[in-house]
Structure 1
Amino acid sequence: MEPLKRSSSAEAIRTTQLGIIISIVLIFVKGISGHLGQSYALIADATESGADVISSGLLWIALKYAQRPPDKGHPYGHGKAEPVAAILIGFFLLAAAGWIAYHSVEFIRTPHHIPKKYTLIVLGIVVLTKEFLFRYVYSIGKRLGSQAVIADAYHHRSDAITSIAAFIGISLAIFLGKGYEGLDDWAALIACLFIIYNAFKIIRPAFEEIMDKAPADELVSAISHIASLHIEVKRVEKCFVRKMGLDYYVDMHIEVDGNINVFHAHSVAHQVKDELLASDLYIKDALIHVEPYDL
């Protein structure tokens, strides 16, 4: 089980590194194209990609820190660094939305030329790239159960949204002509609302994880089912599960025959624990409490 967990963390880190590399490339592509193509929305979009790099770098650090083994000060490990990173990424999104909104209003009030047509090609490529990256990172995050990786995916989606808004605004500005130069800035301003929505969509589940909210009922039922399969377990009385990074910690009460001795009951508890740790449910540790079965 342990090698699987290490490979999962490594996969999350590789996904983050891919996002950083692509975002850095897009910063230069959008920034240069926006400057030469006279599109303030595209320049703002480049800044949003810069926020992507910062948030992905933060996630990279958090995932590395979360891999540290338990120590005296942190007996349950350092997995909580992962949802903390997700919350910080959410706040980065809010900050990016505020920055884009502020400068969009500033650009709307500043007379400027209609953006060049080739900026639409750049934005089309950016949208396709970021949407692909969102889907890829999101699928990894869902499979690993990582709120921070999912948060990073939504950061890529927010970048795609601002690019779509800029594409629509520039298209309208080019089509309608003089007097409508600021439509790409209005589009960027509207896109901020979607970015803010995604930010809160990230922050809420990460905060719930920090507060040790119970995972999905399906997972708890699957864990209880594994324990109940043991021939000497009469009933699973309680099963509490909490998430710590990419792993789960289980507190369980099982009922066994009250006539068996303490050594036998202790052995049953250890067998149940071993079976849980050997499962594919990413269980890091399990505390099994034994109680006598009441007919």
Structure 2
Amino acid sequence: MESNRRTAINTAIFSAIANALLAVVKGIAGVFGNSYALIADAIESTTDVFASLLVLFGLKYSTRPADENHPYGHGKAEPLITFIVVGILVISATVIAYESIQHILTPHKVPEKFTLIVLAVIVILKEIFYRFVSKKSDKTKSTSLKADAWHHRSDAITSLLAFIGISIAIYMGEGYETADDWAALLASGFIVYNAFLIFRPALGEIMDEHVYDDMIVEIRKVAESVQGVQGTEKCFVRKAGMSFLVDLHLTVKGEISVKKGHEIAHEVKNSIQNEMPEIADVLIHIEPEE
């Protein structure tokens, strides 16, 4: 778990630095290249910097050990941070949409050709960043890191749309000057859609939604391999940050002693946590076999 924690935190730091550098590049290119689509892209990257910093804070806080006031740990802080990140995305999309409409209604010059090179490089980099951060989020089981990964994918999409819009404006000539503004407006819709994709799993985590069938199958398999276990009944899994909490009902022979049942429960718990280190705790209820 400590290894996952370090991986997640280092990835969040990487995202914050990458977003900050790209926001500067986009902003400069947008201003000198006369492209609001690039400026809108820079706005989103700037919000992504704050989002990445929030993710970093959430990861550090959510991995704090359990204490007297938080016996189940602080893991639920992570999806709460994700909700804030989603809010930032929606606000940035609203700003971009509003400014895009204003630019569409106001005549302006066609963007410079060099902005296409900048955007092409950004699209490639952002897709690479998405795949890197997404892989780390899958490894660490981090909801907020997955949200950060989707930020990179969202940025890649908006940059691609900006590339298309600017290309139309440059090569179609007079009458198509607002094409990149329309691209920015369309990109704001994609940002909102991606915000929903980020929001949905975080909501499921807060609500302890049942979405861990594969893990439950593995838990039952490990439990039933322990000597003395006759079978398993109820098995519930809930996520808390980068770890999981399990409630499991075991059946044992009815004639064994309470002490023996207690020993079997401990052995099952140890076996499950050894096989699946992402599981922070297992609460076991013993029932006699009928």
Which TM-score band applies after superposition, normalised by the shorter structure?
Answer: over 0.9
Give the aligned partner of residue 242 of structure 1.
Answer: 238
State how far apart, in whole Å, the 2-side matches of 1:238 and 1:39 are.
58
Give the aligned partner of residue 77 of structure 2.
Answer: 81
Q: Deviations over 1:141-179 (max 9, x none)?
A: 122222211111111111111111111111000011122
Give the aligned partner of residue 119 of structure 1.
Answer: 115
State how far apart, in whole Å, the 1-side matches of 2:74 and 2:150 are.
24
Q: Does 1:268 align with 2:261?
A: no
Q: Deviations over 1:180-229 (max 9, x none)?
A: 21110001101112111111111011001001112321111101111000
For structure 1, the residue ranges without an aligned partner over 5 or more in a row are: none
Give the aligned partner of residue 188 of structure 2.
Answer: 192
Matches within 5 A, 1:98-109: 98-109=94-105
State how far apart, in whole Å, the 1-side matches of 2:142 and 2:64 are.
16
Tell me whether 80-89 or 14-23 shows the greater mean CA deviation. 80-89
Q: 1:280 Cα deviation (Å)?
A: 2.6
Q: 1:9 Cα deviation (Å)?
A: 1.1
Q: Deviations over 1:238-278 (max 9, x none)?
A: 11111111111111111111111111111111111111121
State how far apart, in whole Å, the 2-side matches of 1:145 and 1:219 are.
13
Q: Does 1:223 align with 2:219?
A: yes
Give the aligned partner of residue 293 of structure 1.
Answer: 289
Q: Aligned partner of 1:215: which letter? A: V
The answer to whether the 8 A contact 2:97-2:188 is kept is yes
State how far apart, in whole Å, the 1-side matches of 2:154 and 2:108 are.
26
Q: 1:8 Cα deviation (Å)?
A: 0.3
Q: Aligned partner of 1:226: which letter? A: V
Q: Aligned partner of 2:275: which letter? A: S
Give the TM-score taking structure 1 as reference length: 0.96
3-state SS in 2 of match to 1:212: coil
3-state SS in 1 of match to 2:251: strand
3-state SS in 1 of match to 2:56: helix
The answer to whether the 8 A contact 1:215-1:243 is kept is no
State how far apart, in whole Å, the 1-side matches of 2:39 and 2:279 are.
45
3-state SS in 2 of match to 1:255: strand
Tell me whether 171-180 or 138-147 shows the greater mean CA deviation. 138-147
The two structures, once aligned, show a CA RMSD in angstroms of 1.0
Matches within 5 A, 1:44-193: 44-193=40-189
Q: Deviations over 1:53-108 (max 9, x none)?
A: 01100000000001111111110000011111222212221111111101100111
- Displaced runs of 4+ in structure 1, greater than 3 A? none
State how far apart, in whole Å, the 2-side matches of 1:265 and 1:169 are.
68
Q: Aligned partner of 1:202: which letter? A: I
* Number of residue pairs aligned between Structure 1 and Structure 2: 290
The answer to whether the 8 A contact 2:22-2:45 is kept is yes
State how far apart, in whole Å, the 1-side matches of 2:222 and 2:259 are.
22
State how far apart, in whole Å, the 2-side matches of 1:260 and 1:137 are.
50
The answer to whether the 8 A contact 2:140-2:242 is kept is yes
Q: 1:281 Cα deviation (Å)?
A: 4.7
The answer to whether the 8 A contact 1:52-1:155 is kept is yes
